[in-house]
Amino acid sequence: MSTAQRTFVTATGWMAELGRSTLFLLRVLASLPRLVTKPRLVIEQIYSVGVLSLVIVVVAGVFVGMVLALSGYRLLVDFAAEQALGTSVALVVVRELGPVVTGLLFAGRAGSALAAEIGLMKATDQLSGMEMMAVDPVKRIVAPRFLASMITLPLLTSIFCVMAIGAGGGYFVGVEMLGVDAGSYWSGIQSNVDFGQDIVNVFLKSGVFGAIIAWVALYQGYHASPTSEGVSRATTNTVVIASLAILGANLMLTAVLFGSH
């Protein structure tokens, strides 16, 4: 087989996989309205993918905020503009690092767990067992996890941003350690971070990232080979594909949401 033929076969394979995963996504989306009558299923998953990811998000937020304040201060102090530290930390965190870093952490922590859980359920015939009990696993198992991820990631991102900007992260390094004026720090944030432009968009971005991660993880788990190797591959694929998809989607969303300003 020539290189051109191999490339063609690989490309058509990817297209077919994309088509299958899109059909899977449509099945999941069609199942979401039914969850109105079963909110408990979603709440359980919010705990599983959200609350259990909280520690990692809080710790990462604090460290990222500290680093941003430290490096931002070194840059700004040369221009005697250290009073803009709060603004620079807040805008970088809210517009880019918050959604992206939280998304990457979520893909590693919750995405891999979802793929492994669904893959193992398949390997141990739990999904087939459900089908035999006339229960659709997409409606009962997949859809609640998808919706929970979409709800949870924006909330986790908000917490990440607060930790990065606030008393534990950027504020601690900038104000408490490096001596930036506390009033300048907060007033800069207050006057430059726009609710409609920045806060709404951060929720929008992280909601999209939550959907992407859940889509990748659930598809990989649901279609994993029912072997230990298959589950392992599904988990790895989830982290790799979801991470790259987040970075790509972030570029597009940033261009759309902030490109004209």
Residue 39 contacts other proteins per CB under 8 A? no
Q: Among residues 37, 133, 196, 261, which is the contact residue for other proteins, using CB under 8 A?
A: 133
Cβ-count burial 58-88 (b if 16+ within 10 Å, e if not): bebbbebbbbbbeebbeebeeeeebebbbbb
Q: What is the nearest approach in angstroms of other proteins to the Cβ of residue 111?
A: 19
Q: Among residues 83, 126, 197, 225, which is the contact residue for other proteins, using CB under 8 A?
A: 126
Residue 26 contacts other proteins per CB under 8 A? no
Cα(154)–Cα(141) distance, integer angstroms: 22
Q: What is the nearest approach in angstroms of other proteins to the Cβ of residue 31?
A: 12
Say how many C-beta atoms besides its own lie within 10 A of residue 57's C-beta: 23
Q: Among residues 7, 22, 71, 124, which is the contact residue for other proteins, using CB under 8 A?
A: 124
Site for other proteins in 92-121 (CB under 8 A): 121
Q: Among residues 12, 71, 128, 191, which is the contact residue for other proteins, using CB under 8 A?
A: 128
Q: What is the nearest approach in angstroms of other proteins to the Cβ of residue 61?
A: 30
Site for other proteins in 134-163 (CB under 8 A): 134-136, 140
Closer to other proteins by Cβ: residue 140 or 233: 140
Cα(166)–Cα(176) distance, integer angstroms: 12
Helices and strands per DSSP (H, E), number in the chain = 13, 0
Closer to other proteins by Cβ: residue 36 or 133: 133
The tokens of 253 are what? 């969303």
Cα(84)–Cα(208) distance, integer angstroms: 30
Residue 132 contacts other proteins per CB under 8 A? yes
Residue 225 contacts other proteins per CB under 8 A? no
What is the distance between the terminal CA atoms of the chain, rounded to a whole angstrom? 50
Alpha-carbon separation of residue 185 from 33, 88, 126, 197 (angstroms): 44, 10, 54, 20
Q: What is the nearest approach in angstroms of other proteins to the Cβ of residue 130?
A: 8
The residue ranges that bind other proteins (CB under 8 A) are 121, 124-126, 128-136, 140
